[in-house]
Amino acid sequence: MLTDDTRQELIEVARNAQQWAYAPYSNYAVGAALLSNSGRIYEGANVENAVYPVTMCAERVAVFKAVSEGEREFSAIAVVTRDGGSPCGSCRQVLAEFGLDTIVVIADEEGQVCQETTVAGLLPHSFGPSNLKETP
C-alpha cells in the first residue's frame, strides 16, 4: 500500500527529474522516481538520441540506476509527463522483470495523478523469469 505522503514524494521527485530530460527531438520530457523496498528513491529522465532506437526512457534509467547499485526489489514508481502518458512497452517489460506488484503512479506535470495501477495492470499476461524455468 502506498501512503498519500509517499505517493506525493515520488511524484515530486519525478517532476524534478523531468528537468534533466534530454528530449531535443520529441520535446516530451519524462521524469521517473522508483522506490526500492530498502526505502531509497532512484530518479530517471529520458535521454533521446538522433538514432531513435537507442533512446532511453526515464523509467528504465531509474531501474538501471537502482539495479546497478544492488537493488532488486521495488514497491512503486511514479512517472511524470506533460499529459500523464503511460510507460512504453519496453519500460513495462523491464519493470515486470522486478515485480508485477510494483505500484505505478502516472501523473501529469502539474502533479495530478492520471492513473494508478500495478505493473501487472499495465502488462497483463507478461512473459517473465518463470517462463524460462526448466521443467524436470
Query: Which is the catalytic residue, given 43, 48, 59, 71?
Result: 59
CB 101 within 8 A of CB 119: yes
**Mind spelling out the 3-state secondary structure of the chain?**
CCCHHHHHHHHHHHHHHHCCCECCCCCCCCEEEEEECCCCEEEEECECCCCHHHCECHHHHHHHHHHHCCCCCEEEEEEEECCCCCCCHHHHHHHHHCCCCCEEEEEECCCCEEEEEEHHHHCCCCCCHHHHCCCC
Would residue 59 show up in a list of annotated catalytic residues for this protein? yes
Residue with cell 505500484: 103
Rounded distance between C-alpha atoms, residue 40 and residue 45, angstroms: 17
* Catalytically annotated residues: 59
